Amino acid sequence: MAFAASFALIAPELVLGITGLLLTLVAAYGGDKFARFASIAAAVALGGAFALVAPSVCAGASGMETEAFGGLFRADAFAGFAKLMIFAASGATLMIAPRFFEKIGAMKTEFPVLILFAALGMSIMVSANDLLTLYMGLELNSLAAYVLAAMLRDDDRSAEAGLKYFVLGALASGILLFGMSLTYGFTGTTSFAGITAAVSGELSTGMLFGLIFMLAGLAFKISAAPFHMWTPDVYTGAPTPVTMFFASAPKVAAVALLARVSMEAFGSQVDAWRQVVIAAALLSIVIGALGAIGQSNIKRLLAYSSINNVGFILIGLAAANASGASALLVYLAIYTVMTVGSFVAVLLMRDAEGNQLEGISDLAGLATTRPALAWALMALMFSLAGIPPLFGFWGKFVVFQAAVEADLLALAAIGIAASVIGAFYYIKIVKIMFFDEPAGTITGEADKAHWALLLICGVIVSPLGYFLTPWLGSLADMAAASLGLPG
């Protein structure tokens, strides 16, 4: 009976896993002619998993009834909230990828299969209630991501991105695993509840080293400075749909995992990890802002933008309470929409032959030649900059509010000041589109899926998005409450 209840809790993961295995057989026996079918089937599976997770989020699921397989897995509202973002971002990737890959004759049936297994790994990550579950989910996601980065085998940039991601990702996994082994050695357990009980007193030096190593390994996964060095190169070299995927779904999963490890497993040792999180937050904000200023490639600029945004997300984590966790989730949701919209706009940067353009100079005068795209991209850039009344402002507002309520006034003040620096390169993009002489290079047509996705993202980041704040805030509050944190 216990196993039946456990299998019911992992129903979304079963849907993704079984569909992934079946599509692997389709890819093996049917070849690339089934690529479209595989993409549709994977999207349906993600939609089904989304529908299975949604009730637990709306109900604010928490407590022992959300634990499966003896506490290894936890299907609470916090995990569910993150899964909804992961499945939505993965589905968006499957919507826009076929056009990109078919144009260059590289659409493979394996692509949607890898997206499914990556989503499965991320789903396990955010539900991890044990170090063993954490590592299994992390590696399942990472192994699929390494192949996705090198998807274009004949493209030197893609091959380089895949190799860099693999080598540095393996290093980060080793650091994380070493931290986990130290944690196990000094606590005698791998469960988060057991770790919490073991470190409730004074933290030993060995345990502190284990915590630091774990934080360093997870910081790499969210591309937080100073562990961000792989991000610009991998984002630039990977195929654009894959870059969009990396910047959204895995980022959500890794941040949610970091929050769960910090606030649950080491929730009684806030002072031990908060200073590390604050340092990473400030470094990410500053390095992300300054690094983007001199970029000429739009994907590389968005890579630094993602580093910058991770810094703001970590401010919510530094608050180390329910308000901070709720603010973190709200920011993640808004960030995911802005990121997906921005990369869809990048995918619409095509010349007359349909070839992908990535130069910021190609955007010159876009308001004259392609006004709809220019206005949509302007809204997304201003929202990423946190300029009111666009919805991106609300994400920054809630994390700064959480920091102030946690008496982190200096952190909030520095974050607000640094966000002004970051606004420069977003405004620069708008200036190029609206005030420079038209370059006339972006003339290609786009399909309806791209425009539909861009329209949805544009509406959400517009002032209309504020109508979502009561609903989004309520869900985030229930998700944060499921972690059992103080207010």
CB 234 within 8 A of CB 246: yes
Q: Given CA atoms 338, 142, 483, 65 in this order, what sign does their dihedral have?
A: positive
The amino acid occupying position 11 is A
208-241 confidence digits (pLDDT tens): 999 999 999 999 989 998 888 889 999 999 999 9
The Cα 281–Cα 443 span in angstroms is: 40
Q: How confident is the model at residue 45 (pLDDT cuts 50, 70, 90)?
A: very high
376-404 confidence digits (pLDDT tens): 999 999 999 888 899 999 999 999 999 99
The top-scoring range by mean pLDDT among 95-99, 197-201, 439-443, 460-464 is 460-464
Nearest CA to 327 out of 416, 260, 401, 405 is that of 401
pLDDT (0 to 100) of residue 98: 86
The amino acid occupying position 88 is A
pLDDT (0 to 100) of residue 61: 83
Residue 68 has φ and ψ, to the nearest 5°, of -125, 155
pLDDT(1) > 50: no
pLDDT (0 to 100) of residue 486: 65
Percent of the chain with pLDDT over 90: 61
pLDDT (0 to 100) of residue 182: 94
Alpha helix (H) ranges present in 104-187? Answer: 110-126, 131-149, 156-187
Longest Cα–Cα distance of the chain, Å, equals: 69
Mean pLDDT lowest among 192-201, 218-227, 370-379, 444-453: 444-453
Half-sphere exposure of 330 (CA within 13 A, CB side): 34
End-to-end CA distance of the chain: 36
Rounded to the nearest angstrom, the gap between the alpha carbon of residue 289 and the centroid of all alpha carbons in its chain is 19
Report helix, strand or coil for 391. Answer: coil
Q: How confident is the model at residue 258 (pLDDT cuts 50, 70, 90)?
A: very high
pLDDT (0 to 100) of residue 99: 85
The Cα 354–Cα 442 span in angstroms is: 9
The Cα 231–Cα 290 span in angstroms is: 15
pLDDT(326) > 90: yes
The top-scoring range by mean pLDDT among 69-78, 147-156, 197-206, 333-342 is 333-342
Rg (CA), the chain: 21
Tell the burial category of 420 from Cβ atoms under 10 Å away from its Cβ (0-12, 13-18, 19+).
Answer: exposed
| Both structure tokens of 213 | 């190593």
The top-scoring range by mean pLDDT among 54-63, 267-276, 322-331 is 322-331
Residues 281-304 as b or e (16 or more Cβ within 10 Å = b): bbbbbbbbbbbbeebeebbbbbbb
Region 112-117 average pLDDT: 95
The Cα 13–Cα 75 span in angstroms is: 11
Distances (CA, A) of 206 to 77, 184, 264, 266: 33, 11, 19, 14
pLDDT(28) > 70: yes
462-482 confidence digits (pLDDT tens): 999 999 999 999 999 999 998
pLDDT(445) > 80: no
The amino acid occupying position 483 is L
pLDDT(8) > 50: yes
Report helix, strand or coil for 319. Answer: coil
46-58 confidence digits (pLDDT tens): 999 999 999 999 8
Angle, nearest 10°, between helix axes 469-481 and 77-103? 120
pLDDT (0 to 100) of residue 203: 81
Percent of the chain with pLDDT over 70: 99
Could you tell me which residues come within 8 angstroms of residue 384 by beta carbon, excluding any fewer than 6 positions away? Answer: 305, 309, 338, 342, 392, 426
pLDDT (0 to 100) of residue 487: 59
Specify the pTM: 0.95
Nearest CA to 16 out of 81, 83, 71 is that of 83
| Both structure tokens of 173 | 């996994």
Distances (CA, A) of 288 to 76, 284, 297, 421, 425: 33, 6, 15, 10, 11
- Across all residues in the chain, what is the average pLDDT? 90
Q: Given CA atoms 375, 380, 386, 389 in this order, what sign does their dihedral have?
A: positive
